[in-house]
């Protein structure tokens, strides 16, 4: 059964723009290789963190929304842990209300851009 998930990960701020994009593509590749369907991708850019992590006070924030089998999340998080460019991550399963809210948010953002 496919569940809907949302993952946010923070990349180290010392990366170049190309390295950051390459890292995001790597994680999208992990998901698609496992049969996940990527619904939405957002690059939130370089943001200040609430507290320093590994002596860094900023990081590149990225969000991926996807539908996948539960075991895919485990493989994705192993990829996060093995990559030294990722300093924090969180993956949550969206219930039907959270999924509806995420869809409304995507449509509102899309309408705002148009």
Q: What is the pLDDT of residues 89-107, one digit of tens each?
A: 999 999 989 989 988 988 8
Q: How many Å apart are CA 77 and CA 47, to the nearest integer? A: 22
77 and 91 Cβ atoms separated by less than 8 Å: yes
Q: Which domains does the chain have, with CATH numbers?
A: 3-113 (3.30.70.60)
**Predicted TM-score (pTM) above 0.75:** yes
Average pLDDT of the chain is 92
pLDDT digits (tens, 9 = 90+) for 21-41: 999 999 999 999 999 999 999
- Asked if 19 and 25 touch (Cβ cutoff 8 Å), the reply is no
- Beta strands 56-68 and 37-53 are antiparallel
């Amino acid at each position: 059964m496919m569940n809907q998930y949302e993952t946010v990960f923070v990349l180290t701020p010392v990366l170049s723009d190309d390295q950051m994009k390459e890292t995001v593509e790597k994680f999208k590749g992990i998901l698609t290789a496992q049969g996940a369907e990527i619904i939405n991708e957002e690059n939130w850019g370089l943001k200040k963190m609430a507290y320093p992590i590994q002596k860094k006070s900023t990081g590149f924030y990225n969000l991926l929304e996807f539908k996948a089998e539960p075991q895919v999340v485990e493989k994705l998080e192993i990829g996060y842990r093995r990559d030294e460019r990722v300093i924090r991550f969180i993956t949550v399963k969206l219930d039907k209300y959270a999924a509806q809210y995420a869809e409304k948010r995507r449509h509102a953002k899309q309408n705002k851009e148009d």
